[in-house]
Structure 1
Amino acid sequence: MASTPSSQHDHKLKRPSIPATVWMLGIVSMLMDISSEMINALLPLYLAGGLGVSALAIGFIEGLSVAIATAAKFLSGVFTDLSRRAKPLAVLGYGLGALSRLIFPLAATLDQIVLAKAMDRVGKGIRGTPRDAIVAAVSPPEIRGASFGLRKSLDTVGGFIGPLVAVGAMILLAGDVLSVFWLAAIPAALCMIVLVFFVREPAGIRMMKPSDFRLADAFRLNRAVWAVIGLASVIMLARFSEAFLLLKALEAGFTPTWVPLSLIILHVAYGLTAFPVGMLSDRIGTAGLLLFSLAFLTAAHPTLAFAATTSGFVLGTVLWGLHMGFSQGLLGAMIASATPDHLKGSAFGVFNLVTGVVVLIGNTLAGWLWHSAGSGAPFIVGAGLSTIALVFCAARRYRSSPIPS
């Protein structure tokens, strides 16, 4: 029976479903994040308590880790566009992260911890760009925000489960941090199984011949891409490492065993918002949602700066998580929308490189402020920087900037 004009019109309006590849990459991210957060939830406490490392050094280590990752992200992005292959780089990146899990429980000195962090961050840097390029390649433009939001949400499910497992393991193992580090290798191994056997290389990434790409093209990004990178840099400078949230949790009244709960709270707020915000951005654009994101961050900083009780700390952490949920998936979708298909890997690489340098500066500054002026100082400065970012974003929107919406 022939279709009526109405049914044909309804069919055209039907939105495509999120591809299975995006779901599989989301599960891969979730498993690796479970492993990462089991370590990250306890590592600042282990450094400060077990190895006697200062807040300044912790801030520098966190920033250096991001800088190492971002250098790898840029090279990974360029190589993705040059080779027209993404999955092999993703496997290499996740594999290095999985191998680093065997170093953390054996590390007895600061330099060994830095080595493990460096391997983990190189892996993170290598895998991030090809993973995002795969998501962009398999997702139709009309659901791209939802696809990036879904992957982020599944990633944050791992950010919720990882600290929860860490708390349970700390209770069962009588506070034995190194044994928890050993357990973190299990989800990392499962992540590799899913990635190798259940994620396929999308044909769309190989549409162009390798000879069509030139290295100089990596920096010849259009104005809209650079506008997104500039906006993201201001945001990243205002938002430093979650390691400082963990240290602040101790001051707010958490015992070391329960400090990972702060990451659980953060990722619940983050995970519950990233996917619906991504879907909403496909319908109404990104500019207004980013303004909400920065408003949450502007409120989170002073709340955490003056948090003297667990309730005040929880409120600040929820606001921080809402900020991340309203911004992280959007920035990836904005880069994907503004970039030609043959330069998506490079665009994500440059984006990660620039913002990573900014994060190194921001984390080192936060550590110095904590060390020299007290635990509230980084958050007070962060409040000022996030306010600047909010004004910058609002001005760009008012002037109809090239930032894609």
Structure 2
Amino acid sequence: MYVTVRDRPGGAASAGGRVATTVLLLGTVSLLTDVSSEMVASVLPLYLTAVVGLSPVAYGFLDGIYQGVSAFLRIAGGYAGDRAGYPKWVAVLGYGTSAVSRIVMPAATGFGAITAVVTADRLGKGLRTAPRDALIAEASDPAALGRAFGVHRALDTIGAALGPLVAFALLAAVPGGYDSIFVVSFAFAVAGLAVLVLFVPNLRTAAGTARVGLRRVAREVGGRRLRRPLVAAGLLGLVTVGDGFLYLALQDRDDFAGRWFPLLYVGTNVAYLALAVPLGRLADRLGRARVLVAGHGALLACYCLAALPAGGAGLTLVVLLLLGVFYAATDGVLPALVSRLVPDGTRGTGIASAQTVVALARFASSLMFGVLWGVTGPTTALMLFAVALALVAPLAWRLLR
């Protein structure tokens, strides 16, 4: 038995300033799923380096997988949703795969096993992301896509903020109890999957009616309107350092960051939560490209502050705030920008293409940063990436403009 909800983009709800019901339901799914994923993500860098004993290069490899392996299924997930015309069930498969990886995690003790579990989790994310975003775009007023994606990302970020808090509480109650984190994480993932299956409407997209073919997909994705934004997104992704590395750099410098490591994710996510909707609206009004590039300016400031030789609680909080600004200005804005550059029939694949480029670029970035950290140390590595980002951002702006 399924609960059916009908959304009418651009209708009365949009006129009244509210987002579609489907967006809120998908936001709830993402909230529960992010509680699950961020419980694990918030302890993984410290667990792998301090408990398992991985080197910065080895952690860079795993962080690269975490950042980039989902790229291998993003386009496949987007195309499958476009081709069938019912993206929901492709998203269900992706969320289900990630949920299963949570319950397998306690049995993964070696580097190879941990790599396999992280890979499965990220492949599930890659499969679900584009179909989910295509549902959001399908259910929303085209003039308010930035707001719709901002609301979804805000709900997603509530979960991302709660996840580290739950993990921190569990570790406080059971020191070293990582198995309990994995089991509770699985329970939240199953709850999110249940909301998706039972309550999210199985919207038929325009893509399904058009029966999109591979040749048309290749033509649209490789077309001139999308090519330049994809190049810009890839260049920016190459100079984006993963959160885990930034937090490890803060921990390397500060006792404060080391004592409260899982809660660093909370600080970033609270800032993201507060700013996702306002910056989404700002992107709708001023231009999504402007906000996207400005968000990378906040990331540049993060690099510079994290590279300082001394910090303290105040400076750490500023870094977390700026990192939240970066995500609020980019995470929902990029799919909103891309979704208006391709026809409705290839929307999911177009969004997936941009996300794939970013994921692959960040995979390479994590590997490069891990090697630089191992050779030069965190401070020099951060400053080199700061210089690279300062050079790339103006070029990306020209491409996007």
TM-score, with structure 2 as normaliser: 0.91
Per-residue CA deviations over 1:294-353 (Å, capped at 9, x if unaligned) read 221121111011153333222222212111111111111001111100011211222122
Equivalent residue runs for 1:321-360 within 5 Å? 321-360=324-363
Paired residue secondary structure (1:103): helix
Maintained 8 Å contact 2:335/2:354:
no
Equivalent residue runs for 1:303-318 within 5 Å? 303-306=305-308, 308-310=310-312, 311-318=314-321
Equivalent residue runs for 1:121-132 within 5 Å? 121-132=122-133
Equivalent residue runs for 1:3-402 within 5 Å? 14=15, 17-205=18-206, 208-210=209-211, 213-221=212-220, 222-251=223-252, 252-254=254-256, 258-306=260-308, 308-310=310-312, 311-396=314-399, 401=401
2-structure distance, mates of 1:207, 1:357: 28
AA partner of residue 230 (structure 2): I
Identity of aligned residues (%): 30
User: Can you give the 5+ residue segments of structure 1 that lack an aligned partner in the other structure?
Assistant: 1-10
2-structure distance, mates of 1:389, 1:31: 36
Maintained 8 Å contact 1:16/1:143:
no
Maintained 8 Å contact 1:253/1:309:
no
Maintained 8 Å contact 1:41/1:246:
no
2-structure distance, mates of 1:178, 1:273: 34
- Report the Cα offset of residue 208 of structure 1: 1.6
User: Can you give the 5+ residue segments of structure 2 that lack an aligned partner in the other structure?
Assistant: 1-11
Distance 1:13 1:38, change over 3 A: closer
1-structure distance, mates of 2:13, 2:100: 47
2-structure distance, mates of 1:367, 1:328: 23
Maintained 8 Å contact 1:148/1:329:
yes
Pair member with larger Rg:
1
AA partner of residue 57 (structure 2): L
Maintained 8 Å contact 2:85/2:205:
no
Maintained 8 Å contact 1:138/1:204:
no
Maintained 8 Å contact 1:170/1:257:
no
AA partner of residue 152 (structure 1): R
1-structure distance, mates of 2:250, 2:307: 11
AA partner of residue 200 (structure 1): P
Moved more, 323-332 or 301-310: 301-310
Match of residue 6 from structure 2: none
- Report the Cα offset of residue 175 of structure 1: 3.4
- Report the Cα offset of residue 223 of structure 1: 2.1
Computed over aligned residues only, the root mean square deviation of the Cα atoms, in angstroms, reads 2.0
Distance 1:177 1:347, change over 3 A: same
AA partner of residue 303 (structure 1): L
Match of residue 5 from structure 1: none
Moved more, 314-323 or 27-36: 314-323
1-structure distance, mates of 2:194, 2:281: 29
